[in-house]
């Protein structure tokens, strides 16, 4: 099939690359000329495991091209996927203007060429948006919704072997085409579920809202644990041994960040406002997530009696989660900004996200390896649970730090181990460990 993917961000580029890998011919269109130039040189504009290798294979097989020329991208397309961003707008609502702009572009192309591609909205959009896209196309093409559930850091694997594929689709021909297109990715317990368009749009928001809710819930319980002398590790283990609760997205820490959960939770709240059906749980989920970061940075400041002027603080991990260089709404941004504005010197290390982070927080000093970030620091703060932080050389850590203080925002170490190693150790929902008197 001949596919056009509009938007070459995390979703569009992975979608285009994976469809090209199963034998389709794919043109990826983006309005960012720099991004397109990078892609035309065969390079991915962001870090995502296995993406570059897969891209190279499809480019060499001449099944994957990149362009910023709309006319050539839309020419002869059987299917057009809209994968552009849907950020939070200035009024707090989901900004669907990029999606609708693409719909207008397609409408004028279709009018010029008399073609009839199937137009599929993959961007996460509020209920009713896919029908707005259909209105802009004035009935000239079949329109469907096909939300994406990939996770950054695991995007290729998630796309190739999804838990399920959801399609909001109300046209029989389009159903047949999508069934064929997704054939190589579904089956063997991975269903292709076809619903009406509005339900499909809602599945995406409801799923993200549920996952965000699990994270805020365990964070709320972790602060109760701290205040009542319980240990969240034990509480979590006890809870997770109930099959109905499960273990995933249920770890205490700095809360969620990234390009999806924060904006999608807000979009659900706004959808509730618009429908006069206030989403109380989601409002609390959002508030708890915000509070979690504020509480953690307050804990750091409190350790220094609210005077960090002249102190040097090292951050381990800057991306919003491991295995990505995406820093959108990363907790490390809020932590770094607060510490810098309080007068601290902040050094950071991340295996992938140093450039993207420095664009957001130019005053941070970036270290080229995890140990040099610690040199002369008065504390280290773990903001992202990259695997290389899980078992460092603690003797080297101690030798480099000016004071033996660890703030573990992701609970990657055990408090007892840290006490034995001689650290003052703060984590989430567990007792703080003071340095043993010798």
Ligand X SMILES: NC(=O)c1ccc[n+]([C@@H]2O[C@H](COP(=O)([O-])OP(=O)(O)OC[C@H]3O[C@@H](n4cnc5c(N)ncnc54)[C@H](O)[C@@H]3O)[C@@H](O)[C@H]2O)c1
Q: What are the catalytic residues? A: 260
Contact pattern for ligand X over residues 76 through 95, marking x by CB under 6 A: -------xxxx---------
Q: Which is nearer to ligand X, 211 or 381 (CB)?
A: 211
Contact pattern for ligand X over residues 236 through 265, marking x by CB under 6 A: -----------------------xx-----
Is residue 160 a contact point for ligand X (CB under 6 A)? no
Q: Which is nearer to ligand X, 10 or 182 (CB)?
A: 10
Provide, rounded to whole angstroms, the least separation between the CB of residue 182 and ligand X: 16
Bridge partners for 28 per DSSP: 5, 66
Provide, rounded to whole angstroms, the least separation between the CB of residue 220 and ligand X: 25
Query: Distance between CA 346 and CA 365 in Å, rounded?
Result: 6
Is residue 124 a contact point for ligand X (CB under 6 A)? yes
Name the residue among 369, 361, 331 with its Cα closest to residue 345.
361
Angle of helix 129-136 relative to helix 197-228, nearest 10 degrees, comes to 150
H/E run at residue 197: helix 197-228
Q: Which is nearer to ligand X, 7 or 429 (CB)?
A: 7
At residue 247, φ and ψ (nearest 5 deg) are: -105, -20
Is residue 109 a contact point for ligand X (CB under 6 A)? no
Contact pattern for ligand X over residues 202 through 241, marking x by CB under 6 A: ----------------------------------------
Is residue 48 a contact point for ligand X (CB under 6 A)? no
Contact pattern for ligand X over residues 407 through 436, marking x by CB under 6 A: ------------------------------
Binds ligand X (CB under 6 A): choice among 3, 5, 6, 55: 6
Provide, rounded to whole angstroms, the least separation between the CB of residue 97 and ligand X: 9
Tell me the window of 2-10, 127-135, 163-171, 307-315 that interacts with ligand X (CB under 6 A).
Answer: 2-10
- Answer for the pair 300, 335: CB distance below 8 angstroms, yes or no: yes
For ligand X (CB under 6 A), the number of binding residues is 26
Tokens for 264, please give them: 């999608």
Binds ligand X (CB under 6 A): choice among 26, 150, 212, 401: 150
Is residue 136 a contact point for ligand X (CB under 6 A)? no
Is residue 123 a contact point for ligand X (CB under 6 A)? yes
The interface with ligand X within residues 366-385 (CB under 6 A) comprises: none
Is residue 323 a contact point for ligand X (CB under 6 A)? no
Given phi > 0 = left and psi -120 to 50 = alpha, else beta, which region is 11?
alpha
Q: Which is nearer to ligand X, 109 or 303 (CB)?
A: 109
H/E run at residue 314: strand 312-316
Q: Which is nearer to ligand X, 120 or 401 (CB)?
A: 120
- Answer for the pair 331, 428: CB distance below 8 angstroms, yes or no: no
Q: Which is nearer to ligand X, 325 or 334 (CB)?
A: 325
Is residue 51 a contact point for ligand X (CB under 6 A)? no
- Answer for the pair 316, 345: CB distance below 8 angstroms, yes or no: no
Q: How far is CA 65 from CA 7, 17, 24, 188, in A?
A: 13, 10, 12, 31
Name the residue among 98, 96, 97, 122 with its Cα closest to residue 3.
122
Provide, rounded to whole angstroms, the least separation between the CB of residue 13 and ligand X: 7
Sheet-wide strand order for 379-382: 365-366, 345-349, 312-316, 379-382, 405-408, 424-426
Q: Which is nearer to ligand X, 303 or 321 (CB)?
A: 321
Q: How far is CA 161 from CA 93, 99, 145, 157, 164, in A?
A: 32, 27, 19, 6, 8
Is residue 21 a contact point for ligand X (CB under 6 A)? no
Query: Distance between CA 77 and CA 366 in Å, rounded?
Result: 45
Dihedral angle computed from the Cα positions of residues 201, 108, 171 and 178, in that order, rounded to the nearest 10 degrees: -70
Binding site for ligand X (CB under 6 A): 6-12, 29-32, 35, 83-86, 98, 101-102, 123-124, 148, 150, 152, 259-260
């Amino acid at each position: 099939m001949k596919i056009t993917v509009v938007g070459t961000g995390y979703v569009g580029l992975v979608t285009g690359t994976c469809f090209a890998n199963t034998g389709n011919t794919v043109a990826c269109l983006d309005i960012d000329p720099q991004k397109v130039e990078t892609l035309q040189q065969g390079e991915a504009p962001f870090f995502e495991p296995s993406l570059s290798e897969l891209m190279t294979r499809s480019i060499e097989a001449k099944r994957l091209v990149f362009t910023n020329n709309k006319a050539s991208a839309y020419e002869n397309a059987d299917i057009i996927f809209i994968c552009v961003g849907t950020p939070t707008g200035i009024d707090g609502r989901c900004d669907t203007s990029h999606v609708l702009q693409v719909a207008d572009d397609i409408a004028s192309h279709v009018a010029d060429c008399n073609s009839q591609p199937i137009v599929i909205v993959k961007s996460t959009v509020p209920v009713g948006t896919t029908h707005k896209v259909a209105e802009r196309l004035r009935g000239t093409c079949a329109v469907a919704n096909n939300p994406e559930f990939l996770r950054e850091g695991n995007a290729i694997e998630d796309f190739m072997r999804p838990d399920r594929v959801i399609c909001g689709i109300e046209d029989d021909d389009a159903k047949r085409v999508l069934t064929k297109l997704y054939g190589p990715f579904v089956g063997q317990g991975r269903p292709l579920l076809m619903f009406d368009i509005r339900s499909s749009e809602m599945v995406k928001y409801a799923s993200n809202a549920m996952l965000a809710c699990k994270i805020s819930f365990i964070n709320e319980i972790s602060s109760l644990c701290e205040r009542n002398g319980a240990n969240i590790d034990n509480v979590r283990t006890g809870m997770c041994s109930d099959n109905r609760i499960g273990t995933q997205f249920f770890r205490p820490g700095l809360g969620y960040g990234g390009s999806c959960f924060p904006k999608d939770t807000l979009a659900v709240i706004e959808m509730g406002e618009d429908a006069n059906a206030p989403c109380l749980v989601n409002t609390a989920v959002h508030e708890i997530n915000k509070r979690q970061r504020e509480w953690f940075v307050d804990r750091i400041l409190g350790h220094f009696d609210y005077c960090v002027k002249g102190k040097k603080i090292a951050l381990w991990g800057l991306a919003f989660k491991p295995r990505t260089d995406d820093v959108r709404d990363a907790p490390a941004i809020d932590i770094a900004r607060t510490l810098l504005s309080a007068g601290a010197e902040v050094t950071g290390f991340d295996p992938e996200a140093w450039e993207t982070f420095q664009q957001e927080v130019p005053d941070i000093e970036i270290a080229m390896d995890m140990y040099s970030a610690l040199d002369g620091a008065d504390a280290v703060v773990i903001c992202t649970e990259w695997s290389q932080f899980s078992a460092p050389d603690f003797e080297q850590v101690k030798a480099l730090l000016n004071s033996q203080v660890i703030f573990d925002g992701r609970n990657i170490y055990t408090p007892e181990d840290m006490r034995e190693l001689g650290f003052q150790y703060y984590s989430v929902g567990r007792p703080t460990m003071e340095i043993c008197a010798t």
